[in-house]
């Protein structure tokens, strides 16, 4: 399994209407096309948050940098396709 990380190009709002940085973690089969994954994630995020976001590919260290800075980040999970799980984190921007 491969773990891919993405960062939202612009803030999204959490349930308290606070601006948050969106970090997405996708666990997918090793041989899956990462462009397909990114497109599927962008589509699912648009459906979940009601706005179209461009996602930038980031590495695990960059993702952890955002998440460690905001340990109280909101977390959620979505299902893209069989065998492809998506976890999102909303780290409040202060």
10, pLDDT greater than 70: yes
The per-residue pLDDT for 13 is 87
For the chain, the structural domain boundaries read 9-92
**pLDDT tens readout for residues 26-51:** 988 888 788 888 888 899 888 888 88
The per-residue pLDDT for 58 is 94
The per-residue pLDDT for 36 is 84
Q: Report pTM.
A: 0.86
16, pLDDT greater than 80: yes
Other beta carbons within 10 Å of 13 = 13
């Amino acid at each position: 399994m491969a773990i891919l990380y993405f960062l939202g190009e612009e803030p999204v709002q959490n349930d308290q209407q606070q601006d948050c940085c969106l970090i997405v973690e996708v666990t997918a089969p090793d041989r899956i096309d990462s462009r397909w994954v990114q497109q599927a994630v962008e589509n699912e995020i648009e459906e979940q948050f009601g706005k179209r976001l461009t996602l930038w590919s980031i590495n695990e260290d960059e993702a952890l940098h955002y998440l460690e800075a905001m340990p109280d980040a909101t977390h959620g999970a979505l299902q893209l396709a069989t065998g492809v799980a998506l976890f999102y984190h909303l780290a409040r921007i202060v």
